[in-house]
Each structure stands twice: as structure tokens, then as C-alpha cells.
Structure 1
Amino acid sequence: DIFVVNKSDRPGADLFASELQSILELKGDRDRESEKPVWKVPIIPAIATRDEGIGDIVERIIRHREFITKNGHFESHRKLQIKHKIKQIIMRHIREIAEKQFLGEMDIDALTESVFGGEIDPYSAVREYFEKGLGNRD
């Protein structure tokens, strides 16, 4: 990770950067149980409209890429990204299946009116929705 504080010439930018540094220090090292070296997250001041700090940002990006590649972090991070993407796709398919299975068979407007009218709470409405959609397969 790399943090860039843009508009660092504005009032409060220094305070923001120091508070961000404090948060990072409180967070500590994520890989304490690992023997891999841990990247110290830099906070880089920049003023984009004046092209100030751009060279430092590029340099830190290059150094970060070298660090994660050398220490095996790149591979593990990439695997986590792939895992997250697979989960997103699975959840999208589940949502599509659920919408086809349930939304066509159930009147959500009626449930909405029941909740709005105080007849049932939202959790009971969802439970009823699934019981009717699944045919109460307990």
C-alpha cells in the first residue's frame, strides 16, 4: 500500500498526514506471524496541479512492486484477488438464480405493505418470502 496526500499545500494536510500515520502505527504489522518482511506504508505529500510529488509516487510504486515480488507477497495477494473475484462471480450467479426462482413467484409488494402496515417485521417478511419460494422444504 501507498498513501498519497494530494493538495498537501492546503491547510490541514499536515495534520491529516500525521493522523493517517498514527492510524497505520496503531494497525501494526499484519504479517507478525509470518517471517516475511513487512512493507512500511509510506505517506507521500503531493500537489498534482503543480506536478509536485509525482516522481516520489512513481519511485515508491516501483519499490513496492519490487518488495512484494521479492518477498512473495505479490503471489499471495494475487491469489487473494482471484479468490475474491471467484466469490463475486458465485454470488452474482446465486443472486440471479434466486431472482429467477423467487421474484417471479412472490409478491414482494405485498410483503412491503405488510411490513409498512406493522403486521410483520422485515425479518419475518424475508422468512415468509423464502418459505413460500422454497415450498417450505423443512
Structure 2
Amino acid sequence: TGGGTGLIGMWKAFNEMIDLDWLDQKETDRPRMVVVQSDGCAPIVKAFDEGLQENDLWEKSHTGALGLNVPSPLGGAWILKTLWDSGGIALMVDEAQIMEASHEVNELSGVDGSCEDGVSWLGFKTLVETGWIKEGEKVVIPITGAAERYV
């Protein structure tokens, strides 16, 4: 998650579709939203871990996932509210593993994605390994970046 507009928009859309009865789901069936950030720039993860409603500026941010180098997301309070309301989670991944993970995503998906997608993939793998994502659960991993940005 960088600025958070994708996460905020997806949560808003799910809620609107449920409210309009376009999706047949009970309140408990709404998706759990997840924020994954590099350990080089993780203001939302820090705020979430501290139980805060707003994030602070992440000093000296650095990450090769350029779209995630957002040291103080404009929508930070909305991102955190989405996580709290959805029963979601925020986690940070090791910057040193991002490039390899992005190559793995590209091979598995056939999409020429970017470093941001590697961050999402690392988060997914971590959540499966820790049991936060259970066997049989449906998971969507948005591929939001494009490799051309890094050429």
C-alpha cells in the first residue's frame, strides 16, 4: 500500500455492492483487507501495530517499490479505518526480498508486473505461512504496477 486509494476504493465498493444487495453476503462475510509495505517505508504498518487511528510521517523512507514510497499517505486515517472495520491486518516485508518476489509473481502470473507486486506476494506468502490466511479462503492480490516503470 502506498497512498491507499486502491484499498479504500475496494472497501467502499464491497460495502456499496453489499448494501445494494448486489452481493449476497452477511456482515461477517465482508473481505478482510490487508496492507503490505516494505520495511523501508511502512507508516501504515507502524500505526496499525500501535493501535492508532492516524499515521505519522515515516522518516527517511526508501524502497525500490517506487509506488509504495509514500512516507505519509494522504488517506492514512481511511486506510487504518478500513483495516479496523474489516478485521484486516498490516504487515511489512523485507526490502531485500522484493525484487526476487516480483520475478516470482511474473513467472506465476504471466503478467509483467513490478516491485509493488512483489511486496503483495511476499505479504500473501507470509500470511499463508502464519495461518492468517486459511486453506480454502479466496484471496485477491491486485497487480497494480507495470515493469516498464523500472526499465
Which band: TM-score by shorter chain? under 0.3
Q: Which has the higher helix share?
A: 1
Please say which structure displays the higher CA radius of gyration: 1
What is the TM-score when the length of structure 1 is the normalising length?
0.26
